[in-house]
Structures are given as C-alpha cells and as structure tokens.
Structure 1
Amino acid sequence: MDNFEADWLRFHPNSQPVGHLLREAEGWNLTRFHFLPNDRRLAADHDELRAVLERFNRVATATLGEDAPCWLVILQSPNQDRRLGQRLERIKSRYSLTPGWSFFNPVDNLSYQACAGEITWRTDGFNRLLLHVYQTELWDVMWMNKETGAVFRPYDAGADISQPTPNDLIARIASFYGWMPTDGRGYIHFNAAQMATAKFQVTKPCAEAIQKVIAAEKR
C-alpha cells in the first residue's frame, strides 16, 4: 500500500478515487457546484472564462484551505489514447506524480492506476491544470487535503467537493449556493452517521436553493 492509498482509505474506506463516480460514494459529505449560468458547459467569452477560473479557485480554496498540504491525483487506464497518455506524462513530470495504487472498478469495468503526488494548494497555483479540465483535455483530476480528507474534483465548468463533516459542507453551500446546478445534475449527500448529531442553520435563500437541488435530484 502506497502513502496515497493509505491516506485515501483512512478517510474514505471502501471507496476508490474515481472522480466521475464520486457522486455515488456512500458515507461522504458531498455536493456539486456549477460556475456558468443556465448550467452551460462553455463560457461565452474570455470574461466568462476568467470568471470560471476564479470560481474554480475560490471553491477549491474554501474546500481544501489555502497553503494546505494535499494529494494531487490523476488516473491512468489502458484505454487512454496516445495523446492523452502524452499529456498525462507531462503532468506527472511537472507535479512529481508517482504511479502507485492499481485497482479494478466494476462500474466502469476498467483497471486504473492512481498517480499521486504531495503538493501545497495555493489559489491560482494550478490554473493550467484547471484549464485542461475545462477544455475536457483531462478528467478525474482530484485534490485531497492530507489532514482532513476533503476532496475537490473539478469538471468542465464546475466541481464536486467533499468535506469532513456535514457542518463543513453546509458552510461551503452557504457560501456558494448560487452556483448549485438547477437542471437535476446537482446533489447534496451527507454522512448519515454524522447527521445524527449535526445541527446547523442557513439563510432562507440558501435553504430554498438546497430544496431545489433535492427536489430536482429526486425527479
């Protein structure tokens, strides 16, 4: 077991670091934000693209913490094409990511290898990588705080995040509830055991936004 695998399983037992399946994880405090209006995937102009990048950073910093020690993780699989493989090799070199944990995911019916490296999260420190994700040149890139297990997983124009407690997740939602998807792609999941003792209050607009996400998810 490598160091990343040990840290991941310490915080997230019985789960694998497959970003596009994060929504299905059990026992996590999870939600999703989307950074463009009307749930669009692409920015209309350079100003909007700059706004997406700024929102990536704001949510990541709130989730992980500024100057926080983190794992940066990308996945490799046998079915990746040559161009993606070359891009991943450049990223592994740039961030000193080491191939380690190998596992089979039954949902995807694929074998993966996690390439991970220890980094410090800093606002605007990973903009090139975030732009690769926005441009769908990379996917399933994740950052995990080494001390809390909090996860930031960007996708084209949004991000899935996890927090260590329901109260922490509610605090993130209270800050960014205006960015929760309204087309049924949004979700809010809590660790059921932790919810037994969790107590929190939110503003009326935040509560209404949460109800819209829950109602859309149930449809």
Structure 2
Amino acid sequence: MNLEPLISEDFEREWSSFHVNRKPLGWMLRSDESLAWVRFHSLPDSKRYPENEAEEGIILSRAYSLGNTTLGMGASCWQIECRAKELNPPYWDAPVSGVKAITFADDEEKLWCAHVLETHWRQDTLDAILLAVADDKTGPTMWMARNTGKIFAPYDGGFDLLVSSPEEVEQLKAQFGEWLSDHPEGL
C-alpha cells in the first residue's frame, strides 16, 4: 500500500482545518496579523549563530522547552520543511520513508515544495534537524501539532510560535521572557 497519498491528504485536510488559505512558511504565517504569534531568540543577546557546543546546547534546550510547551511532549505532529522548488530534496539526517512533497506558490509566486513527514515531538530526538535550522543549512522548517494546529517554527536565530490565542502568547512571554527580543515588533 502506498502511504504517500494518504499522508498528503491527511496533512492538507488538517492544515486547512487550522490554517485555511495559509501557506506553511513561518515568515508568511508570522506576518498574518490575525494569528497569535510570538518570537524567542535562540541564544543570549540576540546572537544569531552558535559558535561552539555550549551554544548549540543552549539552542537545543530552548528549542525543546518551547516545543514541549507549544506542541506537547510526544505530540503527534507534521514536520514540514519547505524548499524552493529548484532545491529539492529536503534536509534530513537520513533517508526517511513516508515523506510527501506538496508544491505551492508564495505571495510573490515563487514556487515552493513542502516536504511533509508524520512524526512525534520528542525530547532529544530532533537535535540534528534543529541544529541544521539554527545553522541555516535547511529550508524553512516547522512542526504543527495535529490536534491543535499550534506551530513551532525555528529559524536561524530563534523560534516563532503560533498558538491559539493572544492570552497564550502572554503566558509564553511570562514563562520565557528572558528569551524575548527587545525589538518593538518582537522581531
């Protein structure tokens, strides 16, 4: 039985139920003012890239803390990595079965390919991909909780979280306030 069409159908149905008419790119979602969004920096003092193992450890610690809080430990998720259409295939630390590619255009008509994988958010199992994102070695990557639609979208420099409500944003800011940006727009 070929599972790829089922993965595609399940993802597209679930994505649409939470994010209808939106594309799975963190920067596009972040700019949608109707969504509850907050950004946290991955390193102290807004440092963008890690220079040593200690800084990589900080990034992973923050990523798992924010991912666990947003998605839920062990949550069933969609892992989505987008690449410009001409840059196929995605970054994976090993060949992965069950990956389905979905093509779409962004607001500027640039073609993207979203590589979608059904997975679970588990502490200490995503180090390679999280560090690849932190080092800007992969395309835009995010995880969406299948039961809530909440999104954890790391990037080189931090983490964008798209959650259920402005109240949840305020709770996250209170809980992880020292990781927030000083920028007036939260960037």
TM-score range, shorter chain: 0.7 to 0.9
Distance, in Å, in 2 between the alignment partners of 1:117 and 1:22 is 20
Instruction: Please say which structure displays the higher CA radius of gyration.
Output: 1
Deviation at residue 186 of structure 1 after TM alignment: 1.7
May I ask how many residue pairs the two structures share in their alignment?
A: 180
Change (3 A) 1:149 1:30: same
Deviation at residue 99 of structure 1 after TM alignment: 1.4
Counterpart check, 1:137 vs 2:137: yes
Could you give the per-residue CA deviations for residues 99-133 of structure 1, whole angstroms, max 9, x where no partner exists?
A: 13x221123x3112222121111111111100110
Q: Secondary structure at the match of 2:80?
A: strand
Q: Which moved more, 1:167-176 or 1:139-148?
A: 167-176
| Letter of the 1:51 counterpart | I
| Residue matched to 2:111 | 111
RMSD of aligned residue pairs (Cα, Å):
2.1
Could you give the per-residue CA deviations for residues 1-52 of structure 1, whole angstroms, max 9, x where no partner exists?
A: 7221211111012211112322212421101000222211123432222111
Change (3 A) 1:110 1:148: same
Q: Secondary structure at the match of 1:43?
A: coil
| Residue matched to 1:94 | 96
| Letter of the 1:98 counterpart | K
Distance, in Å, in 2 between the alignment partners of 1:99 and 1:18 is 14
User: Do the aligned partners of 2:143 and 2:152 also contact (CA within 8 Å) in 1?
Assistant: yes
Deviation at residue 78 of structure 1 after TM alignment: 2.6
**Under a length normalisation based on structure 2, what TM-score does the superposition of the two structures give?**
0.86
| Residue matched to 1:4 | 11
**Under a length normalisation based on structure 1, what TM-score does the superposition of the two structures give?**
0.74
Which is helix-richer, 1 or 2? 1
Distance, in Å, in 1 between the alignment partners of 2:183 and 2:71 is 27
Uncovered stretches (5+) of structure 1, i.e. residues with no partner:
188-219
Deviation at residue 181 of structure 1 after TM alignment: 1.1
Uncovered stretches (5+) of structure 2, i.e. residues with no partner:
1-7
| Letter of the 1:10 counterpart | S
| Residue matched to 1:36 | 43
Counterpart check, 1:62 vs 2:64: no
Q: Which moved more, 1:134-143 or 1:44-53?
A: 44-53
| Letter of the 1:166 counterpart | P
**Match runs of 1:166-185 below 5 Å:** 166-184=166-184
Distance, in Å, in 1 between the alignment partners of 2:104 and 2:160 is 22
Q: Secondary structure at the match of 1:93?
A: coil
State the identity as a percent: 28
Change (3 A) 1:44 1:64: same
Distance, in Å, in 2 between the alignment partners of 1:35 and 1:96 is 30
Which of 14, 33, 36 is 2:21 aligned to? 14
